[in-house]
Chain A
Amino acid sequence: MSRDGFTGFTRGEARVRTATSSLQFAGLGPLGQLARLPWGVILVISAMALTGAAMLFSTAWDPVNQMPSPHEADLWRNHLIRFAIAFTVMIVLALTPLKVWAALAFPAYLATLVLLVLVDQFGTMRGGAERWLSVGGMLVQPSEFAKLAVTMALARYYQTALNSTNYVPGFQVHLGALAIILLPAGLVFKQPDLGTTLALVSSGCLVIFFAGLSMRIILPVIALGIAAVPAAYLFVLEPYQRERVDTFIAGLTGTATNGLGESYQIEQAKIAIGAGGLSGRGYLQGIQSQQDYVPEQHTDFVLTVIAEEFGFIGAIALLSAFAFLLVWSFLVAMRCRSWFGRLASCGAAATVAFFAIFNISMVIGLLPVVGMPLPFISYGGTALLTVMACFGLILSAHLHRDEKLNIRGLF
């Protein structure tokens, strides 16, 4: 049997697998498990993280002295160190059996809820929002862990509902799932952190969609949601968030004022991307993003550096890398025998996908500015750890795709 070394799938493999393939490496221990990991996928992930470090190096580059400027030189090193830690976490999580994941789902969810309440009570203010919790001198963002926890909890919830019957669950079952999403989402929204709230709700709803909520409900809800946008704009959004939406609309309708204010950031990002042209200015030549014209070029707007230095070719390569990872994740979901594995990898993939889509759309001016990092590439430890953990979950679902979890009841 020829095995595709890149994705880990056997060509023409069906979802229902023969017992032999899962037994093939049985008894080989952890080393055998490592060998079964899809190293091609891990290579793409690593390449993206290294690209992130290279981009941070570029933003720190001082073209006059031909060396990284000292006060920014730490960023790319930190990113590499964080990647090394997150990578280890991902591999450990990948080797964790699905039944352990399933068993941890609800406790992790509850722990996250507690942390979010703690942030609400004792959180550290930064940039006008309470998102950080100081743990032994380190600042962590519980809202980031919420993304993984919600996904696990949803998958665990539907595992019970679907496994026993293998019939599409009814409406009241989905209502419970909705509650699982909205509880942490509400707390995150209160911080306020619009970006994470959106990511939580979007990827959570996508899991409900995959779990079979009737289209007769989905379509009207989408219609209602669109209709509710103006009301949300008026009554839910904070003034600064409203300003961003205004700016975005002004940008779309061409009435944006060049220069200062909220539109400055997005205007400069578009200039940086557009100036990259077809093949870019070349590595370390991205003056627009290097010389502070694009604010937040290390974090949310790191894409501008890639687009300016590597042009359209670089941008498409980046989009393709994401597409590859997401398609592979969907294939994992389709090949998984347990509903927990299926929905967990769907939810984890959706989390990463929404990160990527929101971030890219925001940077290229297709969506209003919401604080959302570019997975693997943006500077920021917690976010990197979250997406790597998401892929740890998907990798685990891949390794343990033949496990049929026989869990009855919720606990």
Chain B
Amino acid sequence: MLLFELIGNFFIEAVRSIGKISYFMFLIFKYLFFPRFYINSNFNYLIKILLSSIPIVALTAIFSGMVLTLQSYTGFSRFSAETAIPKIVVLTLTRELGPVLAGLMVAGRVGASIAAEIATMRVTEQIDALKTLNTNFYNYLVTPRVIALVIIMPLLVTFADIIGVYGGYLISTLRLGFNETIYISNTINFISFEDYFSGMVKSIVFGFIIAIMSCYHGLYTGKGSFGVGSATTNAVVSSSVLILVFNYILTEVFF
């Protein structure tokens, strides 16, 4: 009996959450199309996200590029296909690793911060205070973050692609003895617009997912410091899982 009760509760809770998120997204789209711009709030948020994410995205991308190159070399050298390494590195980074790693890093760095900030505002009644001051909190808090993340993510992913490829270039030329000019020409000649474009689409979708999940968990937080902690954890976990799920769906679309 208990098992049935648990399963039933799980499904009821899941359906309730889907309904709440759907309504939340409906409201976001409504206010995205009829926004009231708080210019300072939007601009400050863009700068804040960019500056706080660049170091962590750069570090993740350069080390991933370096590891990818070494591991590719291990495999390809077994059947004398080392020349394919620049192509594999650039393709993997632009289509997969750049968007996914940047997405996961931004979810951890920015998503957690958004969820914690909004949850704290909810717990300390600042959200209610916004309503009493004739300010729509979707316009003031949510849409600036959605717009900022959707604009910033493609820039961060482009940056991650470049840094990651540079990491691969460093290892290939300094450690594995590749010719610099040949490596660069192989990289540039191989990559197509479609590869870059698929990465950009992913980055926009991931930015949207991070913004939605972080704002949602922040707004629907539980009470007290425990509520803020749970909101932050849930925002990061749900963003990360959805990024991986949508990465597969989008890869199928661009396959």
Q: Do A and B bind each other?
A: no
Which A residues are within 8 Å of any B CB, using their own CB? none
